[in-house]
Structure 1
Amino acid sequence: MDESGLVERYLEHVRVEKRLAARTVELYALDLHKLSEHAAKAGIALTRVQNAHVRRWVAQMHGGGRSGRGIALILSGWRGFYAWLGRERLVDSNPVQDVRAPKVAKPLPKALSVDDAVQLAEFTEDTGDAWLEARDAAIVELLYGCGLRVGELVGLDAQASKAAKGWVDLQAGEAHVLGKGSKRRTVPVGAKALQALQLWLEQRGAGPHAGEAALFIGRNGTRLGAQAIWARLKRRSLHAGLATPVHPHMLRHSFASHVLQSSGDLRAVQELLGHANIGTTQVYTRLDFQHLAKAYDAAHPRAKRKA
């Protein structure tokens, strides 16, 4: 059977027997077309491709500007093709088996500038609904002021109890939360967040669902979910005039970045965020350096080339 016949047989296999989506089959076909082109240029049959050939082609794709993620997807398609050829006893080994794509650089977390974070925190929406405004303002202050995960925020109760996952002690100025891996931690709550919480609790206590355990509730009196908080925060950030929609984790990143910029204390940021590994927190040092680099480029007389 010729080379194109092998590819067609394999595509039929994934389409009929594996029942892959039509778009996935199309992408497989494109990846195998690339494989056939590489093999043709090297003057070898698809069934004669060796590990060294594949590594060379990966290097060429990477040198040509293709991303590590894109190469990984192509290799996945090739790997499946040769696994099938092996089951058909047309090759003795899979030449793609031990080949990995270049590592993909982890993107830096998106954080707001200090000015944008303050603009969002100080924004007041004049809707005539004091209950909703007080709740949403308190949510922003806790997320940005304490660096909470959205799951930790929705788990907070209005009062401390044995059944509570978390709560805020207004007198002590502390939030007790249940984080990842069921690990508890205590984080300080700033004056602005305490003030916003006090206003929300007053509004909440005057409402029809004051007996509900959850700190943040919806109109129906049930605990507010993560999706609802995402939607409210996105809406509020756009109404506040920010250029990009804000999500809860962006405020957590902003909290960590701004504390690190001011204090330089990585260990303290690790404790505040509840990271088990300091390596997870170190990403904020890169974010902090990026901030410093921008300031240098904008301000230093030797940073810019002369026209």
Structure 2
Amino acid sequence: MASLLHAARMPEGGSRATAVWLVSGRRESDHTRAAYIRDVGWWVAWCLATGVDAGSPSTTAADVYMAELKASGLARATVGRRVAAVSSWYTYLVRKQCVAVNPFDGAERPRLDTSTSTTRGMSREQMSALLAHAAQHETARTHALLWLMFATAGRIGSVLAARVQDLDQDRGHQVIDLTVKGGTTKRFVVPPAALAAIHAYLAERGHPEDGLLFVTRTGRALGQPYAWKLVNRVSHAAGIAFKISPHSFRHSAITIALTDGRPLHVVQDFAGHADPRTTRRYDRARESLDRSPAYELAASVTLVPQHPAPIPHNVPSGGD
């Protein structure tokens, strides 16, 4: 990153401030920091290719960059994320007086559809089939990994960073502490089926007491590219016709919990979402007529007649 900034004519003070920016705020985790480096790197590389001075870019340059991102066919969410990362970077550099202005300040960013999640999730039946297939035909490590991804709705980076010593007990619950988005630690319940899969895997490894929970045969950390290939291979073998990602397990866990009627605030806390609107994106049944409160509302205000209803004039009151 430093060499790229130097090539883009960023002043030395700006490079030093960038190093501080990358380890501050919400960029404490390695995964988040790497994402910000990539997004800022795209902008700096564009500056180099177009002759723009990254240390004093114009708002016009920022507008052209956003237009080219949109024209490249990238998803609106990807464009928005890249622009947000660069804007955050320049905001910090302005505060440290390393640059004069943030060229992305006030720019019209792409409008995002916040009502639904674009991640492809699995139904309850598909998730059951996938886990059953993994139990019968895959390694103990794969079975345990898939179960923990689903049971915690954990992001793949958090699950792969889990350590054996993170498994514990709390008030009668089997739990695991995972490092979540933002670098904080969150405690998750590990249900019996997931715990059994993990114990089977650890028994195969000789019951290690510490170190990474999921490792290769040589004891090295599993990488995210491996996890992407793994979940697609296993899902295909389990009869799932569409392509999924590790995030599909998180998506599926949240969606199933909401479909089962768990309160929104409970699922929000489980997922670790700061904003309940993010959790609502996973609620695929939110428009279901079966959930409509109309019947209960009507019943709550319907008055029981206190006197017999009057007989209409055109209806005989008695006799033949």
TM-score normalised by length of structure 1: 0.55
Q: Aligned-residue CA RMSD in angstroms?
A: 3.9
Structure 1 residue runs of 4 or more that deviate by more than 4 Å after TM superposition: 98-102, 293-296
Deviations, residues 119-168 of structure 1 (Å, cap 9, x unaligned): 111114766xxxx6100000111111111110110111112xxxxxxx22
2:268 to 270, 285, 290: 270
Q: Secondary structure at the match of 1:173?
A: strand
- Determine the C-alpha separation between the residues in 2 that align with 1:100 and 1:182: 30
Percent identical: 25
Deviates more, 1:276-285 or 1:254-263: 276-285
| Structure number with higher relative contact order (C-alpha < 8 Å, ≥ 6 residues apart) | 2
The structural deviation recorded for 1:215 is: 0.3
The structural deviation recorded for 1:228 is: 1.4
- Determine the C-alpha separation between the residues in 1 that align with 2:112 and 2:134: 41
Distance 1:230 1:99, change over 3 A: closer
Distance 1:219 1:141, change over 3 A: same
Q: Is the 8 A contact 2:134 2:234 kept in 1?
A: no
The structural deviation recorded for 1:19 is: 7.2
TM-score normalised by length of structure 2: 0.53
- Corresponding residue for residue 123 of structure 2: 113
Structure 1 gap ranges (5+): 1-13, 32-67, 73-97, 160-166, 297-307
2:50 to 12, 18, 21: 18
The structural deviation recorded for 1:239 is: 1.1
- Determine the C-alpha separation between the residues in 1 that align with 2:245 and 2:289: 25
Q: Is the 8 A contact 2:134 2:142 kept in 1?
A: no
Residue 221 (structure 2) pairs with residue 223 (structure 1) = yes
Q: Secondary structure at the match of 1:144?
A: helix
1:182 maps to amino acid: G
Question: How many residues are aligned here?
Answer: 202
Q: Secondary structure at the match of 1:289?
A: coil
Deviations, residues 51-72 of structure 1 (Å, cap 9, x unaligned): xxxxxxxxxxxxxxxxx96xx9
- Corresponding residue for residue 40 of structure 1: none
Structure 2 gap ranges (5+): 1-45, 53-63, 80-105, 293-320
- Determine the C-alpha separation between the residues in 2 that align with 1:148 and 1:257: 14
Which residues in structure 2 correspond to 1:1-307 (within 5 Å)? 18=50, 103-106=111-114, 107-108=116-117, 109-124=119-134, 133-159=139-165, 167-169=166-168, 172-205=173-206, 210=208, 213-285=211-283, 287-289=284-286, 292=288
Deviations, residues 197-235 of structure 1 (Å, cap 9, x unaligned): 1111111117xxx57710000122111122211111111
Q: Is the 8 A contact 1:157 1:214 kept in 2?
A: yes
Which structure shows the higher helix fraction?
1
Q: Is the 8 A contact 2:141 2:201 kept in 1?
A: yes
